Amino acid sequence: MTGLKQKDGIATERPRSSICALGRSVVLNRMARQGVVLLGLCIPGVASCGGSGSSPGGGGSPAPPSYSQQATLGVQALQLWYSQSSGLYAAPSGWWNAANAMTVLANYSKATGDKQYLSVIANTFSNANKANGTTNFINAYDDDEGWWALAWIDASDLTGTQAYLTMAETIFADIATEWDTTTCGGGVWWQKPNNYKNAIANELFLAVAASLANRTTGSASASYLAWAQKEWAWFKASGMINPQSLVNDGLTSTNPSACANNGQTTWSYNQGVILGGLVELYKANKDPALLPQAQAIASAGIAKLTAHGILVDPAVSGGDAPQFKGVFVRNLVVLYNVSANAQYKTFVDANANSIWTNDQGPKEEFGASWQGPFDSADATRQTSALDVLVAAIELQ
């Protein structure tokens, strides 16, 4: 995505009317974070919004904005990195990160009822392939393709646009050609041709197959379900889920007929995508073993990938890792929706509150370390944090 300009063609100043729309507490909170001392002054443009800027008791700090208000501000900040011409986001955010941004916009729209970003999703659908030099969102990486397939499934769920679902089916068909039994007995490759059997590509394949099974009918649905069941049977037996119920990065295939867990990092997103895939498969076939497996992985992630209740990954540098944590939280909500657990809501709220309080930079930009301090801002960090704020809305 070289050549994109940050904040390309987007005004950096929000209209004054948005202040009232988002509430006086948002403005006061923002001023407090910027070190502005409030001494009973009348603030033009704020007093007219009505209501009190302080806590219900009349003193102390202003109440924080609602999760919905926080997400609204965060999405506005995200779109300052969006290029209308390419349908993508400014570097360092890359191709697969843009797919996740589409999912975030779809989930935000669904959670809040705010439909103003449907045109952004449509614009990316129309323009991103040309900008990226691809056709039908297909490239050399099966995991990239899986992210785009899920994004268009989410867009289809939101809008009912058949073209989005058809695109997801087209992408799935390409990934399915990557199924291989000569190495590790099955699974799709991470990179074409024949490079690495790993968790994320296969989790995404599972999630897309099961999602399509639930959104199509007849022989098509049956075929997608067969693929999902085939993928899950292989994945479960592959050894990638370790004895702690965490998913390692992938398999070592030095002996192609006896692959084994490679012991590499248990990234948060590998604990997330599998949750969404198992939930979709459960909806399709009602296998009673699926939800307990998903619950075990979710509980392990919450217990072992956190510090003081806040989700952490071993690294947050580069173009990929800052995206990971939001994927876990997004899919935790998918699991919550079929298997409510108070622990999940407590976890989501704790992370959302920490992002707003401890990991916020200027103009509602969020960093990669949710426990703080704020490091830097880009569209990847922003979408990951927004996954959490949107999740908090969904669980209210």
Please write the tens of the pLDDT for every residue from 350-387.
999 999 999 999 999 999 999 999 999 999 999 999 99
- Residues 87 and 196 occupy one common structural domain: yes
- Residues 199 and 301 occupy one common structural domain: yes
pLDDT at 45 over 60: no
HEC readout, 65-106: CCHHHHHHHHHHHHHHHECCCCCCECCCCCHHHHHHHHHHHH
Q: How wide is the angle at C-alpha 254 spanned by C-alphas 205 and 228, nearest 5°?
A: 15
Determine the length of the chain. Answer: 396
Residue 56 lies in a domain: no
- Residues 301 and 204 occupy one common structural domain: yes
Instruction: Provide the pLDDT for residue 41.
Output: 35
- Residues 109 and 256 occupy one common structural domain: yes
Q: Using pLDDT thresholds of 50, 70 and 90, give the confidence band for residue 193.
A: very high
Domain count, the chain: 2
Residue 333 lies in a domain: yes
- 258/256 Cα distance (integer angstroms): 6
| Owner of token pair 């509602």 | 364
Instruction: Provide the pLDDT for residue 60.
Output: 65
142 three-class SS: helix
- Residues 311 and 248 occupy one common structural domain: yes
| Owner of token pair 């693929």 | 227
Q: Can the peptide bond before residue 15 be classed as cis, meaning omega within 30 degrees of 0?
A: no
- Residues 17 and 100 occupy one common structural domain: no
- Residues 28 and 100 occupy one common structural domain: no
Residue 94 lies in a domain: yes
pLDDT at 6 over 80: no
Show which of 65, 93, 112 is a domain's final residue: 65
36 or 102: which carries more pLDDT confidence? 102
Residue 2 lies in a domain: no
Domain of 32 in residue numbering reads as 9-50+61-65
Check if the beta carbon of residue 11 is closer than 8 Å to that of residue 84: no
Residue 163 lies in a domain: yes
Residue 3 lies in a domain: no
- 188/209 Cα distance (integer angstroms): 13
What type of residue is 68? Answer: S
CATH number of the domain within which 349 lies: 1.50.10.20
Residue 1 lies in a domain: no
Q: Which helix (H) or strand (E) holds 261?
A: strand 260-261
Q: Tell me: the pLDDT tens digits for 243-253?
A: 999 999 999 99
- Residues 178 and 75 occupy one common structural domain: yes
Residue 296 lies in a domain: yes
Q: Using pLDDT thresholds of 50, 70 and 90, give the confidence band for residue 59.
A: low
**Average pLDDT of the segment spanning 117-143:** 98
279 or 58: which carries more pLDDT confidence? 279
- Residues 109 and 255 occupy one common structural domain: yes
- Residues 226 and 334 occupy one common structural domain: yes
**Average pLDDT of the segment spanning 125-141:** 98
pTM exceeds 0.85, yes or no: yes
What whole-number percentage of the chain has pLDDT above 90? 84
Cα four-point dihedral sign 180, 183, 189, 193: negative
Q: Using pLDDT thresholds of 50, 70 and 90, give the confidence band for residue 30.
A: low
Q: Using pLDDT thresholds of 50, 70 and 90, give the confidence band for residue 56.
A: very low
- Residues 26 and 139 occupy one common structural domain: no
